[in-house]
């Protein structure tokens, strides 16, 4: 019997915001396919079509309880701590997630909005004091999300640069064993830091998520290891993802004909623009964390056997032409089902409203204050980060 070769998905760096050609070919021709990944053991499955991604991520026969397994993986290390909510299945997952849900709900974020706006205004004040050209990443899209996650989690201002440095180290593909060891060291250091911050908040409570977590431990809703895993996930991912995504959004708007000017002329379109950009920006290099089949399941006509590992690509699903015609075009007026930029099913990201708020405030304020904003260099000269899990410009030189 002829065996179809299993391709290696090497997850190479891509120019700017070019869509991953391997994912593009997969969603079109091989929506459920076996692949190999650079690290770990054996083959795995990759699911890319929108409807099939939603099926896998919501079906309880695919478990996220993978800690300690010799799985095929994209990086040499796991990014979350072992007790992270991303490794927990329902109903325990719902128990842990419910503890932080109030901090990321709409009422809490509307109360936070004035402080988010003030943080951004201060960063923009510093930017406009510079003689253009200036780097939007250094002045705005890197420090602003760090300000916000510091407010949300209760991280003192003096400690926030350390959180940024940890995230920069941990959220990479770890190109060699030394990098993997550095990533594991960061996890230990971050865990120790958030343990100390929890002690501080227990003695001196504040209006922040760490205080919320401490109170949850004290009443027995979660244990301390779960607190540390949650705090590390929120603190490091909460900066890294928003920083890179917002910088990518601005780059996309400045390099697509007419889109920046349209937002300047139609400020009411900003929320729709953010939603569409979240769908469009191919923010991840590669794929995230896998699931393991707990029994045989047929997906898209392919039999996935018990014990086999399955990855999904939300990025590919967001560019599925069956769901989003002309998916490669940014369309603020696009109709269709919700994008999957924040995941799907029980493990849907806990902070989408916060991420949307930050992007919305950023774009609304930038277009209002700096409508003449333009790239200060040709687009091909914008430098991009390499070896990272979340794609984004290394610098974004702009003028106004």
Q: Which pLDDT band holds residue 261 (cuts at 50, 70, 90)? A: very high
CA distance 392 to 383: 9
- At residue 68, the pLDDT reads 80
Average pLDDT score over residue span 251-278: 97
- Strands of the sheet containing 44-47, edge to edge, are 32-35, 44-47, 309-312, 291-293, 62-63
- At residue 5, the pLDDT reads 82
The token pair at 360 is: 């919305």
Residue 3 has pLDDT above 90, yes or no: no
- Spatial neighbors of 285 by CB under 8 A, at least 6 apart, are 11, 13, 14, 20, 173, 388, 389, 390, 391
Entry pTM: 0.95
Handedness of CA 202, 207, 212, 218 (dihedral sign): positive
Pick the closest to residue 123 from 97, 142, 103 (CA basis).
Answer: 142
Mean pLDDT score of the chain, rounded to an integer?
94
Task: For 175-214, write each residue's pLDDT tens digit.
Answer: 788 988 998 999 999 999 999 999 999 999 999 999 999 9
Q: Which pLDDT band holds residue 4 (cuts at 50, 70, 90)? A: low
Which residues, listed in sequence order, are joined to residue 54 by a DSSP beta bridge?
A: none
Which residues, listed in sequence order, are joined to residue 39 by a DSSP beta bridge?
A: 73
The token pair at 236 is: 């490091």
- Spatial neighbors of 296 by CB under 8 A, at least 6 apart, are 303, 304, 305, 306
Is there a cis peptide before residue 358, judged by omega within 30 degrees of 0? Answer: no
Average pLDDT score over residue span 21-29: 95
Q: Which pLDDT band holds residue 91 (cuts at 50, 70, 90)? A: confident
Task: For 132-158, write each residue's pLDDT tens digit.
Answer: 999 999 999 999 999 999 999 999 999
CA distance 130 to 382: 19
Pick the closest to residue 382 from 106, 141, 44, 93 (CA basis).
Answer: 141
Which stretch of DSSP H or E encloses residue 32? strand 32-35
Which stretch of DSSP H or E encloses residue 360? helix 352-369
């Amino acid at each position: 019997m002829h065996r179809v070769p299993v391709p290696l998905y090497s997850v190479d760096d891509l120019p700017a915001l070019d869509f991953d050609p391997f994912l593009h070919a997969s969603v079109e021709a091989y929506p459920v396919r076996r692949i190999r990944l650079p690290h770990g053991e054996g083959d795995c499955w990759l699911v890319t079509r929108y409807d099939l991604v939603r099926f896998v991520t919501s079906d309880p026969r695919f478990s996220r309880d993978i800690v300690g397994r010799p799985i095929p993986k994209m990086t040499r290390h796991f990014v979350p701590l072992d007790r992270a909510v991303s490794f927990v299945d329902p109903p325990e997952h719902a128990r842990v997630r419910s503890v932080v849900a109030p901090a990321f709900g709409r009422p809490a974020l509307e109360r936070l909005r004035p402080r988010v706006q003030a943080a951004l205004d201060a960063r923009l004040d510093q930017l406009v004091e510079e003689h253009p050209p200036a780097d939007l990443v250094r002045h705005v899209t890197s420090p602003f999300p760090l300000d916000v996650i510091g407010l949300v989690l209760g991280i003192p201002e003096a400690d926030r640069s350390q959180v940024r440095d940890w995230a920069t180290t941990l959220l990479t593909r770890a190109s060699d064993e030394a990098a993997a060891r550095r990533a594991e060291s960061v996890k230990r250091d971050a865990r120790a830091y958030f343990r100390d911050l929890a002690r501080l908040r227990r003695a001196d409570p504040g209006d922040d998520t760490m205080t919320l977590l401490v109170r949850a431990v004290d009443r027995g809703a979660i244990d301390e290891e779960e607190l540390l895993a949650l705090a590390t996930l929120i603190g490091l991912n909460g900066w890294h993802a928003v920083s890179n995504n917002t910088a990518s959004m601005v780059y996309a708007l400045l390099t697509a004909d007419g889109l920046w000017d349209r937002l300047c002329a139609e400020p009411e379109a900003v929320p729709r623009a953010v939603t569409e950009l979240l769908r469009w920006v191919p923010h991840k290099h590669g794929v995230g964390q896998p699931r393991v089949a707990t029994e045989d399941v047929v997906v898209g006509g392919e039999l996935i056997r018990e014990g086999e590992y399955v990855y999904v690509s939300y990025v590919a699903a967001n560019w599925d032409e069956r769901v989003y015609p002309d998916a490669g075009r940014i369309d603020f007026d696009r109709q269709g089902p919700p994008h999957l930029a924040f995941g799907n099913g029980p493990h849907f990201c806990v902070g989408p409203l916060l991420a949307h708020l930050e992007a919305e405030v950023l774009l609304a304020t930038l277009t209002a204050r700096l409508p003449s904003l333009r790239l200060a260099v040709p687009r091909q000269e914008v430098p991009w980060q390499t070896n990272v899990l979340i794609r984004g410009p290394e610098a974004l030189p702009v003028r106004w």
